[in-house]
């Protein structure tokens, strides 16, 4: 049995040194599984007892349709959790079905500050927060879209054009601001991306309804962080395509298996890797001993745990300071998200990108006003609140900018 996180913290002077690759390395476990849960109450009890035994903390959603899990702990204890869960499910689910992602900690902030400090196990109706439009019985009559492996996704985007394809980012606006997929140009025109600019996942239905003229007759390539959100959204798009709201030919819908996380494990690089000698738009990555073509994900993968973004990253920096427009990706400005020092709009409290230089001059939501500083908001130049992500406005954006 491994030591508890608190004991590990007390017995290590250098909290920045997380033993990489060893059984005592601390990691994040991320997975979801759609499977029939006969007794939600019994499953919650099992999960609670197992996590407490293995000193794992984080968030678990349990519903009649399956599990949605994100936990932190030592690598060996997380692997033990996976094995015990598979045994508990008694052969109804395989390791391939779980597709557990073991995610490394960032190296620039202490490992102790990237651990969850609580265990939340909740009974929910759905694995992800949905509106009735996404979770209704009619939507569920459609099967989730076919999954593309990272390699299949990479190859599909390389040949995609605006004439035949469109990419849908099924995440929220504050996620896509620091990273997203783009495609190579084919005859001067790559496939465009629909950045839905939502604040909550459940806001997607009206956005997609307004976008049918962009989606009709296209190959739709859909992605999110780890894959769970695309399962339901791909069903909803198929429902929409078979409704009176649809105009034109029906689309072909695909989703990225394992989401951005799995793709970057194959085509990205660890942020600590030395890539200074390579042009950021021509970084080459090793896969199965051979060099593959350059990564199609730009920037960083926003995550909903104490890291804020995963250290497996793509190419360049896509974020920019909301005040001075200088390249910037860090909502926390070098601090751990657990310190709650992130920049947020003073009115609507959405996350805002403010570079370290501008951060010294502003006051954000939750901070005491100081003479000589100005309050920052989510609108252009930080001067006003636009209630970003809540106005159901969508941006249809063609990625034509090559990250230098």
Question: Per residue in 345-373, pLDDT tens?
Answer: 999 999 999 999 999 999 999 999 888 89
Residue 69 near residue 32, CB atoms below 8 Å: yes
| 100 within domain boundaries | yes
Q: What are the tens digits of pLDDT across the range 232-281?
A: 999 999 999 999 989 999 999 999 999 999 999 999 999 864 433 333 33
- 243 Cβ contact partners less than 8 Å away, ≥ 6 residues apart: none
Same domain, 209 and 246: yes
Residue 398 scores a pLDDT above 50? no
Note whether residue 339 is domain-resident: no
User: Between the ranges 23-32, 200-209, 251-260, where is the mean pLDDT highest?
Assistant: 251-260
Domain that holds residue 192: 132-262+392-397
Beta bridge partners of 60: 69, 121
Q: For 211-230, what is the mean pLDDT?
A: 94
What average pLDDT does the segment 208-216 reach? 90
Nearest by Cα to 354 from 365, 343, 364, 363:
343
CA–CA gap between residue 182 and residue 279 (Å, rounded): 17
DSSP 80: H
Report the alpha-carbon distance of residue 342 to residue 63 in Å, rounded. Answer: 32
The domain that holds 109 is classified in CATH as: 3.30.70.100
- My answer on whether 148 and 232 are in the same domain is yes
**Pair (141, 110) in one structural domain:** no
pLDDT at 30: 96
pLDDT one-digit tens code per residue, 290-321: 334 589 999 999 999 999 999 999 999 999 99
Q: What proportion of the chain, given as a percentage, has pLDDT over 90?
A: 68
Measured distance CA(16)–CA(348) in Å, rounded:
34
109 plus 138 within the same structural domain: no
Residue 231 belongs to some domain of the structure: yes
Q: At what angle do helices 150-159 and 259-267 cross, to 10 degrees?
A: 80
Q: Residue 399 has what pLDDT? A: 30
Structure tokens at 331: 């909502």
43 and 97, same domain (yes or no): yes
Count of domains observed in the chain = 2
Does residue 72 lie in a domain region?
yes
- pLDDT above 80: residue 285: no
Residue 345 maps to a domain: no
Dist CA 144 CA 351 (whole Å): 31
Q: Are residues 82 and 171 in the same domain?
A: no
**Residue of higher predicted confidence among 8 and 53:** 53
Q: What CATH number is given to the structural domain containing 167?
A: 3.40.250.10
- Domain stops at, among 68, 101, 123: 123
Q: Report pLDDT for 135.
A: 55
Q: Would you state the pLDDT for residue 70? A: 98
- In this structure, are 116 and 166 located in the same domain? no
Predicted pLDDT at 4: 53
In a domain, 332, yes or no: no
Boundary (domain end) residue, out of 75, 104, 123: 123
Residue 387 in any domain: the answer is no
Instruction: State residue 138's pLDDT score.
Output: 76
Two tokens, residue 350: 């959405």
Average pLDDT value for residue range 33-47: 96
Residue finishing a domain among 102, 123, 144: 123
Quick one: 146 and 230 in the same domain?
Answer: yes
Closest CA to 204 of 352, 394, 7: 394
**pLDDT range class, residue 20, cuts 50, 70, 90:** low
3-state secondary structure 16-58: CCCCCCCCCCEEEEEEEEECCCCCHHHHHHHHHHHHHHCCCEE
In-domain check, residue 170: yes
How far, rounded to the nearest angstrom, does the alpha carbon of residue 201 sit from its chain's CA centroid?
A: 12
Tell me: pLDDT of 5 over 70: no
């Amino acid at each position: 049995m491994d030591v508890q996180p608190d004991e590990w913290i007390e017995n290590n002077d250098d909290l920045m040194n997380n033993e990489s690759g060893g059984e005592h390395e601390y990691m994040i476990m991320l997975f979801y599984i759609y499977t029939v849960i006969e007794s939600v109450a019994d499953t919650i009890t099992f999960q609670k007892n197992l996590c407490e035994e293995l000193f794992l903390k984080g968030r678990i959603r349990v519903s009649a349709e399956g599990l949605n899990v994100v936990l932190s702990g030592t690598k060996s204890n997380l692997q033990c959790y996976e094995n015990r869960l598979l045994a508990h499910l008694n052969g109804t689910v395989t390791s391939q079905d779980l597709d557990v992602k073991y995610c490394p900690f960032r190296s620039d902030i202490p490992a102790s500050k990237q651990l969850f400090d609580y265990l939340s196990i909740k009974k929910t109706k759905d694995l992800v927060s949905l509106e009735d439009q996404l979770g209704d019985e009619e939507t569920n009559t459609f099967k989730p879209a076919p999954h593309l492996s990272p390699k299949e996704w990479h190859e599909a985007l390389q040949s995609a054009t605006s004439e035949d394809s469109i990419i849908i980012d099924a995440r929220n606006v504050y996620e896509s601001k620091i990273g997203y997929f783009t495609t190579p140009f084919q005859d001067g025109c790559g496939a465009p991306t629909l950045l839905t600019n939502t604040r909550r996942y459940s806001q997607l239905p009206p956005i997609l309804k307004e976008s049918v003229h962009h989606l009709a007759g296209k190959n739709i390539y859909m992605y999110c962080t780890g894959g769970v959100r695309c399962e339901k959204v791909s069903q909803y798009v198929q429902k929409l395509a078979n409704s009176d709201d649809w105009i034109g030919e029906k689309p072909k819908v695909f989703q990225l298996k394992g989401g951005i996380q799995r793709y970057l494990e194959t085509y990205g690089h660890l942020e600590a890797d030395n890539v200074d000698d390579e042009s950021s738009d021509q970084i080459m990555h090793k896969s199965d001993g051979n060099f593959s073509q350059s990564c199609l994900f730009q920037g960083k993968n926003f995550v909903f745990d104490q890291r804020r973004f995963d250290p497996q990253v793509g190419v360049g920096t896509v974020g920019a300071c909301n005040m001075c427009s200088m390249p910037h990706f860090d909502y926390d400005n070098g601090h751990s998200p657990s310190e709650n020092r992130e920049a947020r709009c003073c009115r609507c409290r959405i996350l805002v990108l403010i570079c370290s230089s501008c951060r010294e001059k502003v006051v954000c939501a939750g901070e005491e006003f100081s003479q000589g500083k100005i309050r920052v908001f989510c609108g252009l130049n930080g001067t006003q609140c636009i209630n970003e992500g809540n106005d159901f406005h969508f941006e249809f954006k063609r990625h034509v900018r090559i990250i230098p």
